[in-house]
Amino acid sequence: MVDSLLLVFMFIAVLGIGSQWIAWKFQLPAIVVMSIAGLLAGPIFGLINPEQEFGELYRPFISIAVAIILFEGSLNLNFKELKGLGKPVFRIITWGAFIAWILGSLTAYYVAGLSLAVAFVIGGIFIVTGPTVILPLLRQSKLKPTPAKILKWEGIVVDPFGALLAVFAFEIILFISSDSRDASSLFLFFLASFFAVLLGYIFGKLIGWFFEAGHIPEFLKSPTVLSAVIACFTIADEVWHETGLLAVTAMGMTLANLGISSIKDMRHFKENISILLISTVFILLTASLTMDTLKDVFRPEIIGYVLLMLFVVRPLSIFLSTIGSGLSIQEKTLIGWIAPRGIVALTVASYFAGVLEDEGFQGASLVTSLTFALVFATVCAHGFSIGWLAKKLNLSSDGKPGAIIVGSNRFSVSLAKVMEELGIPVLVVDSSWGRLYSARRAGVAHNHGEILSEQMEYTIDFTPYDYLISASEYDSYNALVSSTFIPEFGRKNVYRLPRQNHSGDQLDDIDHTIGGQELFRPAEGLEELKYKIKAGYVFRKTTLTEQYTCEEYLRDRDKETILLFVLKQSKQLEFFIEGVDTTAQPGDIIVSMTPPSKEFNKIKQKLEGKNKSESDRLKT
């Protein structure tokens, strides 16, 4: 056991972020890795016991962390996303949640052996999925827009309602079983819930007004929002336990739909914090479990309950609630399978386990074991299967990672054309119909619009694209576009054309951290690239073999050849950049711009070889 509380903090942070890195490195579900890390550090090897070591700080810390995570998720709930999806989303978060509650409660009563009172409380908790588990899975699986948006909305909106449903069920149970309670307690519960929604709405509107009116400087905006989230959650939760989650969800949705200019910066800030909190909270929760809890997980009634929740309750609730909603059978199947439970289920269940046990309800001692069994089973089953199932149902945007090219011109369209020939998803984006003429004529996928406008988030599905290349005629615009999309694509996957030597903006003093990486090798500005295409340069695709290696290719190439990128056998793209070593293996394809003389000689050699072979054949 680690004795120092400071060392415990460090250990938890390292385990959490280390688990995220391992998950990213080996393409594993992050929640699964974090759960295993927490179990190993806690009940299995006994290195830490956060609940015991943190004492009274344990529950408040987790509650605030969950509130921040839920708020960050709700910041993504813009009603514009619901265009065409309003009916299925509404049905799933209302009728679907209700059906899941009833079926889940009856399953807990008849299969898990809980009392009817405890079963209905647990049934309410288990309708939640939540952003802590859904959003990482969506990033990993690259689902098509419709199922991805439905799962995201369900996960974030139902999260607070699951907690409230459990509270409501608990109040009903106490009202029925106690002679001293009257209907006023139920009325107060509904009043507190309404107050929480109103409080969240007011907080969101006030923050929006302060921001837009310029009463808060830029450097204080993110800290102000963070403080407001904690205040909003705490006030509502002090009025009535578990209503704080509803308050922060209402606050986040209000801000998301106000159209605030700085909402994207806040979203990135909160997303970074959420990743840290998700990592640490999952370690905290799993490391605080006991060996007795883990042993109870393997009881037959708990295993049976989990299997029925996975294969009967969830699919049935989705299929029944989405009748006539317009969803395809494939979409219903995927959504009906994916329902991982996460932090909210664990935290709310652990709270009610103690309360129900204190009230003397039968089966309350099994609540924690039952919850962990369902959480671990769902994050494993759904985490490992979502990608496979999405491919089987043709609901995945899987394939070669694609590229968005900003700016339509002779070079960018030619580059897009050669990418399409290699099967790489590509999209040329430009705000000018005139400039897009070349893309339309070449038959290249294109989109008319300003890439920097907020509207583009709803008109372009960014899921198939892993790379962004800014290739307009203006150096300053390329730098701005690249800087804007670095948080979305990652600094490693955002590129821009080199600064132009003879035209365009003069940005010699630009900070090296602004904008993406400069393409290609040797570096050529847009004007030079367009001139070379006009002069007859052609795009050439060279497949490397064991006999013709990358070293031989680089040695044989014409000194005027411009190296563009390598298409790896793994389907990844690796662009040539000055000062960065780009390697290629047998089976990889090197794409380059080759001078016409070099290409002419290649064709001539092929024709001579063909004529010689034909002559030899005739002689024989």
For the chain of 620 residues, list the mean pLDDT of each consecutive stretch of 10: 80 90 80 86 89 86 83 75 76 90 92 87 84 72 82 80 77 70 75 92 92 85 89 92 84 84 64 78 85 87 94 94 90 92 77 77 82 88 87 78 91 92 91 90 90 72 85 87 83 85 54 70 80 87 88 84 88 83 86 76 56 56
Residue 237 burial (10 A CB sphere; 0-12, 13-18, 19+): buried
Q: How far apart are CA 126 and CA 119, in angstroms?
A: 10
Residue 262: predicted pLDDT: 64
Q: Please check whether residue 81 is in contact with residue 458, taking contact to mean a CB–CB distance below 8 angstroms.
A: yes
Which residues in the chain are classed under CATH 3.40.50.720?
A: 402-611
Residue 515: predicted pLDDT: 66
Closest CA to 103 of 316, 288, 378, 281: 316
Q: No. of H helices and E strands in the chain?
A: 26, 10
Which residues in the chain are classed under CATH 1.20.1530.20?
A: 59-392
**Strand ranges in 391-493 using DSSP code E only, listed in sequence order:** 402-406, 426-430, 446-448, 465-470
What 3-state DSSP class applies to 313?
helix
Instruction: Tell me which amino acid residue 497 is.
Output: L
Residue 222: predicted pLDDT: 83
Q: How far apart are CA 521 and CA 560, in angstroms?
A: 10
Q: How many CB atoms lie within 10 A of CB 469?
A: 27
Give just the sign of the alpha carbon dihedral 572, 576, 578, 579. positive
Closest CA to 403 of 376, 384, 422, 379: 422
Q: Find all residues with CB under 8 Å of 166, minimum gap 6, and list them.
A: 121, 122, 124, 125, 242, 348, 352
Query: Token match 């009833």: residue?
Result: 102
Q: How many CB atoms lie within 10 A of CB 252?
A: 28
Q: How far apart are CA 37 and CA 467, in angstroms?
A: 32
Does 402-611 carry CATH code 3.40.50.10330? no
pTM for this structure? 0.71
Query: Token match 């990993």: residue?
Result: 140
* 59-392: CATH topology: Na+/H+ antiporter like fold (1.20.1530)
**H-type alpha helices, 425-545:** 437-442, 456-459, 475-489, 526-534
Angle of helix 131-141 relative to helix 343-358, nearest 10 degrees, comes to 160
Greatest alpha-carbon pair distance for the chain in Å reads 111
Q: In what order do the strands lie in the sheet with 446-448?
A: 446-448, 426-430, 402-406, 465-470, 494-496, 517-518
Rounded alpha-carbon distances, angstroms, from residue 142 to 66, 84, 517: 25, 20, 25
Residue 314: predicted pLDDT: 94
Rounded alpha-carbon distances, angstroms, from residue 408 to 20, 268, 412, 436, 456: 38, 29, 6, 6, 17
